[in-house]
Every structure is written in structure tokens, then in C-alpha cells.
Amino acid sequence: MEPLNPSRLSRRSVLRLGGAAAGATVLGAGVLTPGTANATLPPSPEFDLGATPVHLFGPKLLHESHHSMQGFTFDDVNRRLFIVQAQNGGSGADLVINQVSGSGEVLGAMTIKRAGHGVSIAAEPVGDITYIWVECDADSNDDSGRGTALARVQFKNIVRESIADDAKFFKGSDTITAAVDPETKRLMVRRKENGSFYLSVWPLSKARDGLSADRLVHVKQPSVAETFQGYTFYGQYAYLWYGDGQTNPDNINSTIRCLDLNTGEFTRGPAVTRAGSSLTYREPEGMAIHRMDSGDLALFFGFASRPSGGGDNRYANLYYKLL
């Protein structure tokens, strides 16, 4: 992948976000709205999860040297990459969003206090500004805390002690995060509803209203007896990332599964990836879709790693598969 370079734009668009439709139901804290049917998403290509992975960068230290990377996202309009992690010396729920170059160098950082865990974040470009969708208002101000709402905030090199009420959406949720499909300009919301995780999709231009009438997809995430580590989606397919931290390269359990959002079923069995198998304590973390400067579409997935000789540093590593 070529370095992320703001001067090399494939397109530029401004998303205009409309108001709430009269009479539509606003979704609350995990309550399913009776009578809401899923639309059928148009057919789209599916990534070949058996394709050879490509290494983008890593191991690289992020802004917070002693915490693992979590979710990440791309602003394809402004050619920016953002990676989230917990704050050094923070509560455990305090998150730092790094802006990172295509070679893994930290270009800036924004801290959000009492945000959550950071399994997934989403970028929304508006002109030359990037807004980040990230969980906020964690249910516990420690490392067990998970977001109860989504914040939509402009990325700036600042510390946000709190989020303005008008920048919070899907308030009252349980363990909520977001991902973005930059190609179709749709937002996916993942949260617990009645004790199970659901994946819901809105047009990005209507996501802030959270209206049931505008929701395109609402499917239950299939239960898997593996550690969930991230997700993203493109077209009709969601990609789910599983696995644990591993110290033995012969005991790889990092898998990607593809979920058809039109049926709610996996398209095939899990695909094991040995990308980064030589990393020390290689732990799957985060996924995202990105349109490369070459024009190719890529499915990105990350690993956190540690120094081979021990120590507190934590490193970020990114890999991808082309469509």
C-alpha cells in the first residue's frame, strides 16, 4: 500500500445529514421495533479470506506505548488512518485515538475520557474534516467499561473530558461500537439487545437519527466459542475477527468469518490466517475496509504484539487482503 497522502484524493464528497422522518420510531436501548423489516442489500463481491495477506506496517509503537491497539478505521477521502487504544495511566476506559501514517508513524492523538474499550471505531469524512464515531459514556470507569452511546466527534489533537449531549447517539445502549463501509457510505452499529449482539446498518447520512424506518439491516450476530476481536463490512457482507494472544507460532487460532447480512448466516467456515505468525504475543485487534491509492479495495486486520525480550511496550501491526 502506498503511504496515506492527503494530496492524492480519488474523490471528495460532503455528506449532508437529514432530519428525522415524521412518525418514524427512534431506536432506544436495545429495544427491537415491531414490524421493522430488513431491506435486501444489493449483491456485492466477497473477499477471498484464503488470499495471501500483505503486511502494511509493524511492529510500531503508538502514542500510548504501554497499551495494545484496538479498533481502527480509514478516512478514504482525506487519506487518513486512525487507531484507538487505552490511555497510559488512565482509568482503563479512557481511550486515545491515534492518527497514523501509512508507515505507522503517529501524526496526532485525541483522548476521550471514560469512553469504553475501543473494539471498533468509524471515520466519517465531511470535506477536509474527519469525524470519528466511537463509543462513549462507559458503564464502568475501568478496563471492564463498555460504551453506552456513540459519540460523533471531529478528530482534533485535544483531550475531551466529556462529550456534548448533542454529539451522542444511540444513548442507553449496551456495549455499543461502530464500523463504516466507506464504499457504500453506511454505518454499522454493533450492540447488545436482550442479551445478544446484533448488527444493524444505516445509511451514514441517516445514522444520527437512528430511525427504524431508515435501518437497512438488523441481524443477530451468530454465537461463536472464540474471543471476538473486531469487525467491519463491505456491501452485503460483514467480516468478523476472532482469536487470542498467542506466544506459540505453531498454535495459531486467529480466524476471520464472513457473514451474509441478507441472510444472517456465515457464508463458509472460519478462515485461519497465519499473518504475523512470528510476532510475540500476537493478538488479533480490529478490522477495516480501505480503498488503496492503487484503486484496489482491501480488507484490513490488525494484531497487537509485545517485545520478544519482555517489557511493557505494545506494538501495532496491520495486514490486508485485496478483493
- Taking the chain (323 residues) in runs of 10, the rounded mean pLDDT of each run is 37 29 43 46 97 98 98 98 98 98 98 98 98 98 98 98 98 98 98 98 96 95 97 98 89 94 97 95 98 98 96 98 98
What confidence score (pLDDT) does residue 2 get? Answer: 37
What confidence score (pLDDT) does residue 15 get? Answer: 27
What confidence score (pLDDT) does residue 247 get? Answer: 82
What confidence score (pLDDT) does residue 289 get? Answer: 99
> What is this structure's pTM?
0.90
Nearest to residue 169, comparing CAs of 129, 214, 127, 111? 214
What confidence score (pLDDT) does residue 39 get? Answer: 67
Nearest to residue 101, comparing CAs of 65, 74, 121? 74
What confidence score (pLDDT) does residue 246 get? Answer: 86
Task: Using alpha carbons only, give the angle 61, 66, 70 rounded to the nearest 5 degrees.
Answer: 75
What confidence score (pLDDT) does residue 4 get? Answer: 56
Dihedral in degrees, nearest 10, Cα atoms 277, 282, 285, 287: -10
What confidence score (pLDDT) does residue 215 get? Answer: 96
Domains present along the chain, CATH in parentheses: 55-322 (2.115.10)
Is residue 148 within 8 Å of 137, Cβ to Cβ? yes
What confidence score (pLDDT) does residue 38 get? Answer: 64
